[in-house]
Structure 1
């Protein structure tokens, strides 16, 4: 089974529209974009904090695979929201062969380097409106889940679809 990114993206958009309708959320498109980028950045930092690779000399709290998966799902959800708001949804969808190639990559030699690169690409995609930078960030985020965290495509999809809005 290949990860159905188009379906997950559509689900994300529907959930947000439903939430905004039910709670009468109104923000300008530019402020909404800033909020989406901040939410993505914070969720990525939260995931990094749970993973704890950078906490040298500190005791690491025990974190379950389920907690990591939940935090990772939040990251991809916020990535979908940014893509939708930027009208870059086409950058999310990947061919099954491209997804398989991504899954065959080696784990990061430095999660710190990968994290900083992801943040840098996201900054470029916001401040300079660079679609290619966003696409690079998205691929690094996908790789983080599929390779570095070792989640299966089916596991990600199932957890995402069970996520509350």
Structure 2
């Protein structure tokens, strides 16, 4: 099972370790901007790597590989950093029943899914909209479970491995 409370704890610890070990400090307002920009860029990288919107370029079918997993996990971590910056951590902890419900949702048009997440994140940034963040978080989790067909246990392990690598670099 995907333990979102544990993901949040690991993400928080990684952020603290990185800040201390790399002497990376920013004012809270600057850190907030930095995290939103990072998430925006990371979502773009994920979309570009998957290439579903590049039909005119004769792209092969969406391939899930190590790069995809890496990009997706980084995206999840940046969502968790936003939850920390905005003090919305209570919105990211999902119960097993919520995860099951998200995993059973039908596949969506990927362009609409992507643009919806981006729109909700702008609402978070510009208007401090918690409801948009919660919906965006559910959408990105659903994206991994449904559109990418990743298993919860696999995601948990991939996240933990990536966080461990991040703090030991």
The structure in which a higher percent of residues are helix is 2
Q: How does 1:46-61 map to 2 (within 5 A)?
A: 46-60=45-59
Between the aligned partners of 1:23 and 1:74, the Cα distance in structure 2 is 19
Between the aligned partners of 1:7 and 1:130, the Cα distance in structure 2 is 24
Report the equivalent of 2:17. Answer: 18
Structure 1 residue 64, shift from structure 2 partner: 4.6
- 1:75-124: CA deviation from partner (whole Å, max 9, x where unpaired): 1011011101111000000111111001000011x100110010000000
Report the equivalent of 1:112. Answer: 111
Report the equivalent of 2:99. Answer: 99
Report the equivalent of 2:157. Answer: 158
Normalising by structure 1, we get a TM-score of 0.95
How many pairs are equivalent? 163
Between the aligned partners of 2:58 and 2:11, the Cα distance in structure 1 is 36
Structure 1 residue 67, shift from structure 2 partner: 1.7
Between the aligned partners of 1:60 and 1:68, the Cα distance in structure 2 is 15
Structure 1 residue 59, shift from structure 2 partner: 3.3
Normalising by structure 2, we get a TM-score of 0.93
Query: Which runs of no fewer than 5 residues in structure 1 stay unpaired?
Result: none
Task: Indicate the SS of the match to 2:55.
Answer: coil
Between the aligned partners of 1:91 and 1:131, the Cα distance in structure 2 is 8
Report the equivalent of 2:88. Answer: 88
Report the equivalent of 1:3. Answer: 2
Query: Which runs of no fewer than 5 residues in structure 2 stay unpaired?
Result: none
Structure 1 residue 63, shift from structure 2 partner: 4.7
Report the equivalent of 2:43. Answer: 44
